[in-house]
């Protein structure tokens, strides 16, 4: 845990430990020798890596400090980096993504909410206070551009009696380390995963790349995709409605174009969350419970 | 661009421009430079693709660049740049050669291109386009027209950058942009649209999704927005809520956040109630649907109890349940802040 003495990092460390993650070391320059929830703190990643067996690091550095923190971890030969910060400058992201790729280091994020394998382990903030409320063990792999929507996907699955093998919040930035197609190939190779659910947004060519991987049969397990943001196409191009990454730059970047590309490749495209269990069933996944029809779930059902 | 033949003519033209409105911007400075007899026009741009920085260049530039690229795409040379190595002048020289440039100009062209990459890099630009990049009759390379897009994420390390707001922003949008620029913490944004359902969302995937679903069932959002996670300072959140409630078209409000929230629900709900109170808005006339769970949820539910027309969804409710209820309520004929 790089930046383990920070507020959010301490909270996430405690929660991850409670969930079963094996956290061997924390790093905060100048705080070596301290302990956070019994985890020893080191001054540098190299020192932590020399003293313990590190196979992943979660980076809690603020946006402008991510570049150095990530390069330090790559220099220390940590094989998996998970970068939480949102708003890392583009030139810094490009630099660390390139450095990671050339050294064979896996980079999750930036702007990820973390990774969870329900019932096994979690890193990052994903799952919140009580992950079991959202994530139950199962055989569906989730990859989401949005951390929050990852939870909605998992919740939708849970309510149909399905569970999750691994859920990764891949980050919503314009440039990310691992891309949607990379995660899909990992799920393809994972024996514990039967089908893949992805959440996409306008901007970037992640979904087109995934469509390519599906049509080339690099990914043969069923893929169900929900791509949000089609409403943007009702407005002039170049208008940004959310995160900078969700800015449409070309016609291929729109939610509609992505849905079309995925559908043409053989993936199944959901219009709404509640379509996902049905589409998984159509793709051959055994969905335990019928989808409940819930029209009104609010406390006061009668509008005043 | 106004060509003039003498210093006197330049002064006259400048006087005519100062104070004028052009595309919603008031002219308060005029740039005067030497007229250059251009021998050759080239095109150069630095931008990002999904992997990192890349360069695009073409031996033919100027106003026709889009047509040139469309009709002969092969004339455009595109290359990704290794951000650790940058773009050295000898790399740039090979690219211009590949684009068809020959002769004496190559050397300076390569040097200027490499230095412009430095500008792109150290200036934290997400886009830098030079069109035309010109060669004059004496073989000098000149940056004649240039456009730069700056990376908003790098604002903190560029105190020299001015705050910019969209020229076509209305007063509500401008106010949110001002708060965003002046208050520390996560980003807030507010874009007004032509519908009647106010949307108070986080701004990430769930905001896009709920907006889509409202449109899919025939409802029209009055805005889109980005609100930061609540910390100790709720000024940004309140600025967005104020903008939404000041919009006279709003007939219903959807407060829709993802199930797993780090931020406290009660801070969001209290901010909403404060603004409703300050603006003396009768919630009987403005139905509000809240789907907001997590820390502080019990306090948030208690805070809205007793407010008519505030519908706090149960924990079983999906984003779609909240969207459907909001759309149904907005169709009710008896509501509306302004009515």
Q: Is the pLDDT of residue A16 over 80?
A: yes
Which residues on chain A are in Cβ contact (under 8 Å) with B151? 89-91
Which residues on chain A are in Cβ contact (under 8 Å) with B202? 148
Kindly report, as residue ranges, where domains of CATH 3.40.50.720 are found in chain A. Answer: 1-110
Q: Which of A89, A234, A271 is facing B124, going by the closest CB pair?
A: A89
Kindly report, as residue ranges, where domains of CATH 3.40.50.261 are found in chain A. Answer: 113-290
Q: To the nearest whole angstrom, how far is the Cα of A107 from the nearest Cα of chain B?
A: 13
How far apart are the C-alpha atoms of A208 and B259, rounded to whole Å? 28
Please tell me the predicted confidence (pLDDT) of residue A249: 64
Residues A125 and A137 sit within 8 Å (Cβ to Cβ) = no
Q: Does B90 touch chain A (CB under 8 A)?
A: no
Per the structure block, which two tokens stand in for A197? 């659910």
DSSP state of A200: E
* C-alpha torsion B43→B48→B51→B57, nearest 10: 0
How far apart are the C-alpha atoms of A199 and A44, rounded to whole Å? 36
Each residue of A102-131: pLDDT tens digit? 999 999 999 999 999 999 999 998 988 889
To the nearest whole number, what is the mean pLDDT of chain A?
Answer: 91
Pick from B194, B196, B173, B176: nearest CA to B287: B196
Q: To the nearest whole angstrom, how far is the Cα of A151 from the nearest Cα of chain B?
A: 6
Kindly report, as residue ranges, where domains of CATH 3.30.470.20 are found in chain B. Answer: 37-157
Per the structure block, which two tokens stand in for B48? 């990002």
Q: Is the pLDDT of residue B337 over 60?
A: no
Residue appearing with tokens 């006061």: A300
Reduced to 3 states (helix: H, G, I; strand: E, B; else coil), residue A49 is: helix
Which residues of A form the catalytic set?
A: 243
Cite the beta strand spans of chain B per DSSP E: 21-22, 25-26, 38-48, 53-58, 76-80, 125-136, 141-143, 146-150, 189-192, 197-201, 223-226, 252-256, 288-291, 310-312
Q: Between helices B265-278 and B235-246, what is the axis angle to 10°?
A: 50
Please tell me the predicted confidence (pLDDT) of residue B160: 84
Higher pLDDT, B164 or B298: B298
Q: Which CATH superfamily is domain A113-290 in?
A: Succinyl-CoA synthetase domains (3.40.50.261)
Instruction: Give the number of A-B residue pairs with CB atoms closer than 8 Å.
Output: 195
Do the Cβ atoms of B212 and A91 come within 8 Å? Answer: no
- By DSSP bridging, strand B223-226 and strand B189-192 are antiparallel
Q: Which of B204, B216, B262 is facing A243, going by the closest CB pair?
A: B204
Which residues on chain B are in Cβ contact (under 8 Å) with A156? 318
Report the CATH number of the B37-157 domain: 3.30.470.20
Write down how long chain A is. 304
Provide, rounded to the nearest whole percent, the portion of chain A with pLDDT above 70. Answer: 90
Phi-psi region of B309 (alpha: psi -120 to 50; beta: other; left: phi over 0): left
Q: Does B82 touch chain A (CB under 8 A)?
A: yes
Do the Cβ atoms of A273 and B318 come within 8 Å? Answer: yes
Q: To the nearest whole angstrom, how far is the Cα of A55 from the nearest Cα of chain B?
A: 25
Q: Which of B126, B207, B308 is facing A90, going by the closest CB pair?
A: B126
Cβ partners under 8 Å of residue A293, min gap 6: none
How far apart are the C-alpha atoms of A239 and B285, rounded to whole Å? 32
Do the Cβ atoms of B212 and A229 come within 8 Å? Answer: yes
Do the Cβ atoms of A296 and B295 come within 8 Å? Answer: no
Higher pLDDT, A104 or A237: A104
Reduced to 3 states (helix: H, G, I; strand: E, B; else coil), residue B284 is: coil
Each residue of A152-161: pLDDT tens digit? 999 999 999 9
Reduced to 3 states (helix: H, G, I; strand: E, B; else coil), residue B99 is: coil
Reduced to 3 states (helix: H, G, I; strand: E, B; else coil), residue B146 is: strand
Tell whether domain A1-110 is in CATH 3.40.50.720.
yes
Cβ partners under 8 Å of residue A19, min gap 6: A121, A122, A127, A131
Which residues on chain B are in Cβ contact (under 8 Å) with A134? 259-260
Please tell me the predicted confidence (pLDDT) of residue A298: 40
- Residue A110 preceded by cis peptide, ω within 30: yes
Angstrom distances, CA of residue B267 to CA of A115, B94, B225, B253:
27, 58, 18, 17
Higher pLDDT, A162 or B75: A162
Which residues on chain B are in Cβ contact (under 8 Å) with A151? 258-260
- B residues 109-128 near A, CB within 8 Å? 121, 124, 126
Q: Which of B50, B262, B308 is facing A204, going by the closest CB pair?
A: B50
- DSSP code string of B219-262: --BSEEEE-PPP-S--HHHHHHHHHHHH-TT--EEEEE--SS-S
Q: Which of A8, A95, A126 is facing B83, going by the closest CB pair?
A: A95
Rounded (5°) CA angle A143-A148-A150? 25
Pick from B174, B129, B169, B177: nearest CA to B152: B177
Residues B268 and B230 sit within 8 Å (Cβ to Cβ) = yes
Closest residue of chain B to A242, computed from CA coordinates: B203
Do the Cβ atoms of B212 and A235 come within 8 Å? Answer: no
Each residue of A239-269: pLDDT tens digit? 667 655 555 567 778 999 999 999 999 999 9
Cβ partners under 8 Å of residue A188, min gap 6: A196, A218, A219, A220, A221
How is domain B171-331 classified at the CATH fold level? Rossmann fold (3.40.50)
φ/ψ (deg, to 5) at B146: -140, 145
Closest residue of chain A to B252, computed from CA coordinates: A303
Pick from A38, A14, A15, A16: nearest CA to A25: A38
Pick from A109, A139, A141: nearest CA to A123: A109
């Amino acid at each position: 845990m790089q930046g383990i003495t920070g507020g959010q990092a301490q909270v996430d460390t405690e929660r991850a430990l409670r969930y079963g993650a094996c956290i061997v070391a924390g790093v905060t320059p100048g705080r070596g020798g301290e302990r956070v929830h019994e985890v020893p703190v080191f001054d540098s990643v190299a020192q932590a890596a020399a003293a313990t067996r590190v196979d992943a690091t979660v980076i809690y550095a603020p946006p402008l400090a991510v570049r150095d923190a990530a390069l330090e971890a790559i220099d220390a030969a940590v094989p998996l980096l998970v970068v939480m910060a949102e708003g890392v400058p583009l030139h810094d992201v490009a630099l660390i993504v390139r450095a990671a790729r050339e050294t064979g280091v896996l980079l999750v994020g930036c702007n990820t909410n973390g990774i969870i394998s329900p019932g096994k382990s979690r890193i990052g903030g994903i799952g919140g206070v009580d992950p079991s409320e959202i994530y139950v063990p199962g055989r569906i792999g989730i990859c989401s551009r949005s951390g929050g929507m990852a939870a909605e996907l998992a919740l939708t699955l849970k309510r149909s009696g399905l569970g999750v093998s691994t859920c990764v919040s891949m980050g919503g930035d314009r440039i990310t380390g691992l891309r949607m197609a990379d995660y899909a190939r990992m799920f393809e190779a994972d024996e514990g995963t039967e089908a893949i659910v992805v959440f996409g947004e306008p901007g970037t060519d992640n979904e087109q790349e995934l469509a390519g991987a599906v049509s080339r049969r690099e990914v043969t397990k069923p893929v169900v995709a929900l791509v949000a943001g089609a409403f943007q196409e009702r407005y002039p191009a170049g208008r940004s409605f959310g995160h900078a990454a969700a800015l449409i730059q070309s016609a291929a970047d729109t939610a509609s174009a992505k849905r079309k590309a995925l559908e043409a490749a053989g993936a199944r495209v959901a219009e709404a969350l509640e379509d996902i269990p049905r589409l998984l069933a159509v793709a051959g996944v055994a969905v335990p419970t019928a989808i409940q029809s819930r029209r009104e779930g609010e406390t006061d059902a009668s509008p005043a | 661009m106004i060509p003039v033949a003498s210093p006197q003519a330049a002064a006259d033209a400048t006087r005519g421009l100062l104070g004028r409105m052009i595309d919603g911007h008031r002219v308060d400075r005029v740039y005067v430079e030497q007229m250059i007899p251009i021998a050759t026009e080239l095109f150069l741009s630095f931008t990002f693709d999904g992997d990192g920085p890349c360069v695009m260049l073409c031996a033919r530039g100027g106003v026709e660049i889009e047509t040139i690229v469309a009709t002969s795409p092969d004339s455009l040379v595109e290359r990704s740049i290794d951000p650790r190595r940058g773009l050295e002048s000898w790399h740039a020289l090979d690219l211009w050669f590949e684009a068809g440039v020959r002769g004496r100009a190559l050397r300076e062209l390569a040097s200027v291109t490499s230095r412009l990459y430095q500008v792109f890099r150290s200036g934290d630009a997400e886009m830098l386009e030079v069109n035309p990049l010109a060669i004059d009759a004496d073989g000098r390379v000149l940056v004649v027209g240039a456009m730069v897009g700056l990376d908003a994420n790098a604002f903190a390390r560029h105190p020299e950058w001015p705050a910019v707001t969209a020229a076509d922003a209305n007063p509500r949008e401008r106010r949110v942009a001002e708060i965003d620029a002046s208050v520390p913490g996560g980003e807030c944004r507010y874009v007004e649209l032509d519908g009647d359902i106010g949307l108070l969302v986080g701004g990430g995937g769930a905001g896009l999704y709920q907006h889509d679903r409202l449109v899919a069932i025939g409802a029209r959002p009055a805005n889109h927005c980005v609100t930061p996670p609540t910390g100790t300072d709720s000024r940004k959140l309140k600025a967005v809520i104020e903008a939404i409630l000041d919009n006279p078209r709003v007939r219903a409000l959807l407060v829709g956040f993802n199930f797993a929230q780090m931020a406290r629900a009660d801070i969001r709900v209290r901010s909403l109630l404060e603004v409703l109170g300050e603006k003396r808005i009768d919630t009987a006339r403005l139905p509000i649907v809240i789907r907001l769970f997590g820390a502080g949820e019990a306090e948030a539910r208690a805070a809205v109890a007793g407010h008519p027309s505030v519908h706090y969804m149960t924990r079983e409710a999906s984003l779609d349940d909240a969207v459907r209820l909001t759309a149904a309520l907005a169709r009710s004929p008896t509501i509306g802040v302004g009515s």
